[in-house]
Amino acid sequence: MDELPDVTATDADGAPLRLADLPRPLVVYFYPKDDTPGCTREAQDFSALADEFAGAGVHVVGISRDTIAKHNKFTTKHALRVPLASDLDGSVTEAFGVWGERQMYGRTYMGIERATFLFDRDGHLARAWRKVKVPDHAAAVLEAARAL
């Protein structure tokens, strides 16, 4: 993937959210599930840096396959400041190549790979982080975004 895929998720109000229509530079981060320890920490880290991303002119959106209701509860519970979108039909996670077979505790299942993508002003992929480890990740993404 070299360019921002023309795919549509669902925003917090249940409306279509076409990624190609979002302001750029754009950070799209994928996470497995609302309100789990790693996903909560990641969302909190991006939220803590929301003003700095905005100051750099960078839009951030988090995406999982959770429902809008779960996203809204998660956002309220943790006072998140980054928008979350739902990929209920799986088209967004498929387009980004982050949906696939996962393994945890010896169990194999289908799920989302924790991954982040940074797109420049023209919609070209500037950087991708695959198999993300949460600690310090949001700060590394901000540093890369500022370097655009």
**Residues catalogued as catalytic:** 39
CA dist 122 and 110 (Å) reads: 32
Contact 12, 83 (CB under 8 A): yes
Please check whether residue 9 lies inside any domain of the structure: no
- pLDDT at 1 (0 to 100): 81
Please check whether residue 129 lies inside any domain of the structure: yes
Please check whether residue 11 lies inside any domain of the structure: no
Please check whether residue 12 lies inside any domain of the structure: no
Split into its structural domains, the chain has a count of 1
Please check whether residue 48 lies inside any domain of the structure: yes
Half-sphere exposure of 97 (CA within 13 A, CB side): 9
Instruction: Output the domain CATH number for residue 89.
Output: 3.40.30.10
Half-sphere exposure of 140 (CA within 13 A, CB side): 14
pTM score > 0.75 for this model?
yes
CA dist 139 and 144 (Å) reads: 9
Please check whether residue 3 lies inside any domain of the structure: no
How does pLDDT run across 12-38, given as a tens digit for each residue? 999 999 999 999 999 999 999 999 999
pLDDT mean across residues, the chain? 95
How does pLDDT run across 45-66, given as a tens digit for each residue? 999 999 999 999 999 999 999 9
Domain that holds residue 126: 23-146
Please check whether residue 52 lies inside any domain of the structure: yes
What is residue 3's DSSP assignment? B
Please check whether residue 2 lies inside any domain of the structure: no
